[in-house]
Amino acid sequence: MLSEPRAIFFQTELIWLPPDVSGYRLDKMIVRRFYNTLFEPEFNEHCYENLDLQAQKPTLSSEQAGKRSICRFSENSITIEEQRPVFAVDEFCKIVDNVVKAFQKALGNDGAVPQFPPVVSQRCRMQCLPQPHEVGGSLTLLAEKLSHVKDAIEPFERPPSFFGVRFRFGPALIATENGAITEHEGFVTVRFETYSNDPSQVWMEVLAQYVPLVQENAPATLESVALFQANIQNAYEFLTEKCKAFLDQYDKPQEKPPEDKPSLET
């Protein structure tokens, strides 16, 4: 079995309808107000140190010891991401909660009722690194054990240094053995690849998209925020539980390769 996956990237994107449809027009003044709101006592546990209003997409960020936190806006979305996090996915959910509530307050500072734009779609991207225990490295696991292409590499006249596999899953209704129906919502894309910084590890990524999230043009509520967090948790569990369980099937002791066939590991 593989080692427990180590998270290296969390990201979620909340998407609302374009301004000409939703009526929500995001300008630099709102982004600046949001940035300032994050320094208020109720939000400053997860504030951002830098504000770039001249970027193509207004961006808030913090960086320390290789870890980077980003909050980026487009005209109809907000993206929250953590690069090389040193915390679990639960903490990322708290950051998303903090950002959404601070943005709600920033939108209401002009005297209007605080409202978050009606989110119609959410994307969650998660990346992590497990390590095989039995097969010696990601190339053997992915190219030999999983894909069975080891015997077909001879036309290249040299072994590959990188290999990857991709799956895409759509929404589905699956009947179980006892007749119950399990509903799988959203679209999920899974990638398994050699990790370029350390070929012994497997780079795993899940990109999940959940639609629709709201009915008609209702603004986001606290219940919506809870749904945002649940989708993040679901995407992370898909990656660290289902994807790991899939690869665990192939991380078994390998037989000694025939002498006349080169090993994929270099």
Residue 217, pLDDT score? 47
User: Any idea of the CA torsion for 108, 54, 15, 167, to the nearest 10 degrees?
Assistant: -150
pTM for this prediction: 0.87
Phi and psi (nearest 5°) for 61? -155, 160
Tens-binned pLDDT, residue by residue, of the chain (266 aa): 899 999 999 999 999 988 888 777 888 999 999 999 999 999 989 999 999 999 999 999 999 888 999 999 999 999 999 999 999 999 999 999 999 999 988 887 554 444 677 888 999 999 999 999 988 889 999 998 999 887 788 888 888 889 999 999 998 888 877 878 887 878 999 999 999 999 999 999 999 999 876 654 455 555 688 889 999 999 999 999 999 999 999 998 756 666 665 666 65
Residue 254, pLDDT score? 57
DSSP 161-208: S--EEEEEE--EEEE-TTS-EEEE-SEEEEEEEE-TT-TTSEEEEEEE
Structure tokens that stand for 218 in this block: 């209702």
Q: What CA–CA distance (Å, rounded) separates 135 from 200?
A: 10
106 DSSP 8-state letter:
H
Structure tokens that stand for 12 in this block: 């979620």
Q: What CA–CA distance (Å, rounded) separates 24 from 28?
A: 13
Q: What CA–CA distance (Å, rounded) separates 187 from 169?
A: 6
